[in-house]
Structure 1
Amino acid sequence: MSADRYFGLALDASPSSKYALKWAIDNVFKEGDHLILVVVHREVMEGGQVHLWGKSGSPLVPYASLIDPSIQKAYQLKWDEEVLQYLEEAVTVKKLTVVAKVYWGDAKEKICAAVVEIPLDGLIMGSRGFGTFKRTLLGSVSNYVVNNVPCPVTVVKLPGPL
């Protein structure tokens, strides 16, 4: 019997993030693992949970609550059908324990904080695939995280044309 494994997955609405979720479900997770979705909002919505949890991030939100529209609204979660389908597969087929931790602020800082606070055995995140010029101007969240967290990080790129 193996020990419990806790993996974080940085999730936003980007195609690379959704692909990383599907890739991780298919290639990384084993039955009984814990999947902690790390969601970081740069924008603050009026009336949301940011007023309670803005500095420390939300408490861990269980999967059953994540699919509740009122909870999604309170935490500014905008799951599309594809993400909901992947999460359902993670819970029912892979038998993962799925929870989310929501932060507000700078993505690279908050993702690094999540790794330490939760703590995580590993982190999976998508790559937007910026070229050198855009990466220089905008910075790379994945590069920053890889170099500043104490656990292994897997950066998943969208597949290119074959």
Structure 2
Amino acid sequence: MEGETRMMMNTKKEKRRIVVAVDESEESMYALSWCLSNLFSTNSDNTLALLYVKPPPPVYSTIDAAGYMFSSDVIAAMEKYGSDLVDSVMERALAVCRKSSYNINVERVVGSGDAKDVICSTVKKLKAETLVMGSHGYGFFKRALLGSVSNYCAKNVKCPVVIVKKDK
């Protein structure tokens, strides 16, 4: 077969791991939906890590600042509320994922601590290709007072960061 050129199609699927930071906000669910629509393809072995960061657990004392005693029932109720919140957010995120037409492996990842530190360390640990986050759209002064988790992550992770802003 001299002079004939054969083209080989690369049928090997590209492996893709994307971390999406989710929380109770509409902005994070919008970012997840945007990610599914824009960053996944049929030629990918898609892995999506849904990352929820719980605030660090408070240090409980049996006596609060006003001198009242906390019962173990109150502490257990507060911990159950935190677990229920995680389940609720993850269920909402999974519902968004189910609407996608792509075959996606979804991992639920729950961390505890300062959001910016947990997000950065999780992205590194999972060797993510991309980090996707929603933007709350805070103005200059609010961002200066509260800090910006997305800004911190964009400066400190080694992979590309996509910050998705929801139209108002």
Shorter-chain-normalised TM-score: which range? 0.7 to 0.9
Name stretches of at least 5 consecutive residues in structure 1 with no aligned partner.
51-71
2:38 is the counterpart of 1:35? no
State the Cα distance separating 1:75 from its structure 2 match.
8.3
Question: Where does residue 101 of structure 1 map in the other structure?
Answer: 109
Query: Structure 1-normalised TM-score?
Result: 0.75
2:162 is the counterpart of 1:154? yes
User: For the residues of structure 2 that align with 1:97 and 1:119, how far apart are their CA atoms?
Assistant: 15
1:3 aligned partner, one-letter code:
E
Query: Structure 2-normalised TM-score?
Result: 0.72
Q: Determine if contact 1:127/1:158 at 8 Å carries over to the other structure.
A: yes
In the alignment of these two chains, the number of paired residues is 136
Q: Determine if contact 2:90/2:108 at 8 Å carries over to the other structure.
A: no
**Which of these residues, 23, 26, 29, is aligned with residue 34 of structure 2?**
23
Partner deviation per Cα, 1:17-70 (whole Å, 9 max, x = no partner):
0100111111111233100011101154966xx9xxxxxxxxxxxxxxxxxxxx
Partner deviation per Cα, 1:61-93 (whole Å, 9 max, x = no partner):
xxxxxxxxxxx9478322387534212124xx2
Name stretches of at least 5 consecutive residues in structure 2 with no aligned partner.
1-11, 59-74
User: For the residues of structure 1 that align with 2:14 and 2:166, how far apart are their CA atoms?
Assistant: 31
Q: Determine if contact 1:75/1:102 at 8 Å carries over to the other structure.
A: no
1:131 aligned partner, one-letter code:
G
